Structure 1
Amino acid sequence: MAAIRAAQLGFKVACIDSFERGGKPALGGTCLNVGCIPSKAMLDSSEKYEMILHEAADHGIQVQGASIDLNKMLARKDSVVEKMSGGVTFLFKKNKVASLHGLGKLERQEGDTWIVSVAGTEVAAKNVIVATGSSPRSLPGVQFSERIVENSGALTLPEVPQKLGVIGAGVIGVELGSVWRRLGASVTVLEALPGFLMAADAAISKAALREFQKQGLDFHFGVQIGAIQDTGSSVKVTYTENGQDVQAEFDRLIVAVGRVPHTAGLGAEAVGLQLDERGFVKVDGHFRTNLKGVYAIGDVIGGAMLAHKAEDEGVALAEQLAGKAGHVNYDAVPWVIYTSPEIAWAGLTEQEATKRGLKVKTGQFPFTANGRATGHGDTRGFVKVVADADTDRILGVHMLGGGVSELIAEAVSVMEFGGSAEDLARTVHAHPTLSEAVKEAAMAVDKRAIHA
């Protein structure tokens, strides 16, 4: 995004990227190649399979003998990735962005020019944007292997495991655990924190946990992981729960305990690029590092590790370099978990707002009272609006349900303009749509929802 926007603004741009897929250069980085895009393709395939098995009959559709061709499912996922990666290649050519394959390293500064080496050649640039992203965090003493995998490995398992262990009940762990649970695996999720999705609004996380447990995901919270052993035929995990030592054995183990900034090979120490105590590149409010002409965006600078947050930072920085007023409103960055039901939110939770000393009022509307959701046969979840009790300004919007990854954008738009619950409530929504639940939740802030 930074490269394309900078090229649109008249800069001469070269994008250095070392990512490979199948031994060949693959534009798009982690998100497109082994993250957001392939995981959503697998989520969609697994949800269709579960719908055929358990929901089609309710619609009068009789299906017999449904089965999984995992190789074909994985091939479809790969074809989606290849198509999207090819799209990036096309956009680079269209915008005259030079694509250089290899690991970029900051070598030295000559006057106002930076020299960056890549694949044995040197590139001169007045401005350098570090957008090297993040890498999966491992556990001390644990090596990833054929049976112990991180997110990319979890997208290429050669068969559906009978018993799947997942360490980490965050976004990645829950999404990927859900995929393989729907395809037939027995899934156990081990989480060190005492509760589920503690960054989400408490009402949302409580309801979501209940839904996932109904689906068969087996959660264990407040556990301390001990030894992990790959025997070659299984993975043995020892952990402590409620003061008791527990031993479990899985066919495969997904380690999803977060991500760390990827700065290896960047040359940060040699050129004096400042990193913080956790290894993130230090920047100011305009993405400037301590080195003149060197900027950083995305996962490598910390904050929410979200692709769309990084994209907007890239666009904002390119516009700032062109003398424009690029900015990112971090108070209105949406979060989405693509489970079934989906989870989405933006802004403050009710608990965060109260902790900050704000007086709040809330409105909530269930999808059980929404006509479109009833027609879909999926009435799980609800929409919750958190507003300032004095000004009515929307502080946060939180959703659980089918399709809420799309609905959250409306809330973000209203929040971006400093809108109120009344603004959202007075906006006409088409009927019947899922989005009416957003309007009704806003109306419920003042206790005037119509259909609940």
Structure 2
Amino acid sequence: MENQYDIIVIGSGPGGYTGAIRAAQLGYKVAIIEKYSTLGGTCTNVGCIPAKALLDSTEHFHKAKEEFGLHGIELDNGLRLNFGQFIARKDGVVKSNTSGLNYLMKKNKIDVHTGLGSFIDNTRLRVSNGGTEIILTGKYFMIATGSKPSSIPGVTIDKKRIISSTEALSLPGQPKSMVIIGGGVIGVEMASVFARIGTEVTIIEYTDTLIPTMDRELGKALFKTLGKLGIKTLLGSKVKSADNMGEQAVVKFDDHSGKEQEITADYCLVAVGRRAYTDGLNLKAVGVETEKNGKVKVDSQLRTNVDNIYAIGDVIAGPMLAHKAEDEAVFVAEVINGQKPHINYNLIPSVVYTWPEVASVGATEEELKASGVPYSSGSFPYSASGRARAANDTDGFVKVLVSPRYGEVLGVHIFGPRAADVIAQSVVGMEYEVTAEDMYRISYAHPTYSEALKDAYLIASGQGAINI
């Protein structure tokens, strides 16, 4: 059986399904290949969406336990967590999203082929599913196969006691204790989920700060907030091994002073990053070149060295973010269509869904110092925000970095309530080169969390804050 298409997309995560839909909108005959039985990739099934579902659930639980009394809300019959329903709600959210993707594929007349895609040559792709096999022919291909959890020497993920974030999202019961290796985005989000429901959590991080790729002030603030949840964070520590002992896991590491230590917990969650996933694509057969780290080499048009094959998202260089993959997917579809789209990689925001949330766009203060770029900084605390006080969410701050010469906004860093949403305004401003003065002169609704931005811009411009 042979099927012919204009564009074949391999992988159905946020990048894959977005690229397929955009290509179909542009009039192309499109197929999408997915090795698993459901669409959506890591993000929809075992990443962004289920993680945020659990984060929201645990935040409700934590507020009920710690803050409802302050609001005059009394729980006369006590408070308990139904762990089964906790996980079931997450599963329902995932199912709703995957069902939505099935609808979108049908609506846009995109053919879905389930199985492992493997290149035969630069025009033919073999799709294998159990004992069945079909051959698809395409004019163009988009590789969007995403990434898988990675590990470190001495630590093997067995999916039983030594787990990745995938297994952590569907544990059979609430653990009493957990060790998390890695203090990046995944590590601190999973730490928040379990600490809020009473699990004793320890984070072991190799560097001297949490979320090390972001502005250091954000990491320092997050360290303090996670401490309030009872999370123990060990910075500057190197994990040497993790072993499954049957009912528990044992993690051995050297602490910041070089002394060997040992921790025993119900689970060891490995959150040290992800690796590009191209297994089974048979890239050598078609001649697609890869980097030493396994990522696919692409040019400025996201084209591989094979003219009609493109790659996007986690399989190429850059941050592993779902919205980056989506932007790249649309970019590729429009490039194939002869358009001239653009992506400003400096203005792709990063978000951490702890509470308070962390959000960042543009340059960090450390990057500006290292490159010798002059800047002025303006920081405004949420403790001075009327909206934050009303919600009892006063932890955090907004920091903006501004060029003193022209008022260009160089970076915005937020640690505070609804930071993931508030950052969008700064992305728009920076994309269209709006100055700091422009940003503080526009009208901000009162009272809102976004007013903190206005005051930060005022302070960075040499003026005082004017809002509460």
TM-score range, shorter chain: over 0.9
Name the aligned partner's letter for residue 467 of structure 2. Answer: H
| RMSD of Structure 2 on Structure 1 (CA) | 1.1
Name the aligned partner's letter for residue 290 of structure 2. Answer: L
Percent identity over the alignment? 42
Tell me by how many angstroms 1:155 deviates: 0.5
Is the contact between residue 157 and residue 164 of structure 2 (CA under 8 Å) also seen in structure 1? no
Tell me if 1:92 matches 2:78.
no
Tell me by how many angstroms 1:174 deviates: 0.5
1:7 to 24, 31, 39: 24
1:220 to 223, 231, 234: 234
Instruction: Please give the secondary structure, in 2, of the residue aligned with 1:165.
Output: strand
Tell me by how many angstroms 1:34 deviates: 0.3
Tell me if 1:28 matches 2:26.
no
Tell me if 1:174 matches 2:188.
yes
Is the contact between residue 383 and residue 399 of structure 1 (CA under 8 Å) also seen in structure 2? yes
Structure 1 match to 2:390: 375
Tell me if 1:341 matches 2:350.
no
Is the contact between residue 344 and residue 399 of structure 1 (CA under 8 Å) also seen in structure 2? yes
Looking at structure 1, the residues matched to 102 and 368 of structure 2 have their Cα atoms a distance apart, in angstroms, of 43
Looking at structure 2, the residues matched to 343 and 311 of structure 1 have their Cα atoms a distance apart, in angstroms, of 21
Is the contact between residue 313 and residue 327 of structure 1 (CA under 8 Å) also seen in structure 2? no
The list of structure 1 runs, each at least 4 consecutive aligned residues, that deviate by more than 6 angstroms after superposition, is none
Tell me by how many angstroms 1:145 deviates: 2.5
Looking at structure 1, the residues matched to 220 and 159 of structure 2 have their Cα atoms a distance apart, in angstroms, of 34
Instruction: Please give the secondary structure, in 1, of the residue aligned with 2:378.
Output: strand
Is the contact between residue 153 and residue 240 of structure 2 (CA under 8 Å) also seen in structure 1? no
Tell me by how many angstroms 1:143 deviates: 3.3
Is the contact between residue 261 and residue 302 of structure 1 (CA under 8 Å) also seen in structure 2? no
Structure 2 match to 1:22: none
Name the aligned partner's letter for residue 305 of structure 2. Answer: N
Is the contact between residue 165 and residue 270 of structure 2 (CA under 8 Å) also seen in structure 1? yes
**1:328-363 Cα deviation digits (max 9, x unpaired):** 110110000000111000000112112112110111
1:78 to 86, 91, 96: 91
1:144-155 matches, within 5 Å, as: 144-155=158-169
**1:351-384 Cα deviation digits (max 9, x unpaired):** 2112112110111111111111111011110111
Is the contact between residue 248 and residue 266 of structure 2 (CA under 8 Å) also seen in structure 1? yes
Is the contact between residue 204 and residue 235 of structure 2 (CA under 8 Å) also seen in structure 1? yes
Structure 2 match to 1:386: 401
1:118 to 118, 127, 135: 127
Structure 1 match to 2:328: 313
**1:113-141 Cα deviation digits (max 9, x unpaired):** x1001021000000000011000002335
Looking at structure 1, the residues matched to 158 and 406 of structure 2 have their Cα atoms a distance apart, in angstroms, of 51
Instruction: Please give the secondary structure, in 1, of the residue aligned with 2:376.
Output: strand
Count of matched residue pairs? 443
Instruction: Please give the secondary structure, in 1, of the residue aligned with 2:207.
Output: coil
Instruction: Please give the secondary structure, in 1, of the residue aligned with 2:120.
Output: strand
Given the two structures, how large is their TM-score scaled by the length of structure 2? 0.93
1:17-416 matches, within 5 Å, as: 17-19=34-36, 25-64=37-76, 65-109=78-122, 114-119=123-128, 120-141=133-154, 142-241=156-255, 242-416=257-431
Is the contact between residue 24 and residue 108 of structure 2 (CA under 8 Å) also seen in structure 1? yes
Looking at structure 2, the residues matched to 71 and 327 of structure 1 have their Cα atoms a distance apart, in angstroms, of 45
Name the aligned partner's letter for residue 104 of structure 1. Answer: G
Structure 2, gaps ≥5 residues long: 1-17
Name the aligned partner's letter for residue 13 of structure 1. Answer: V
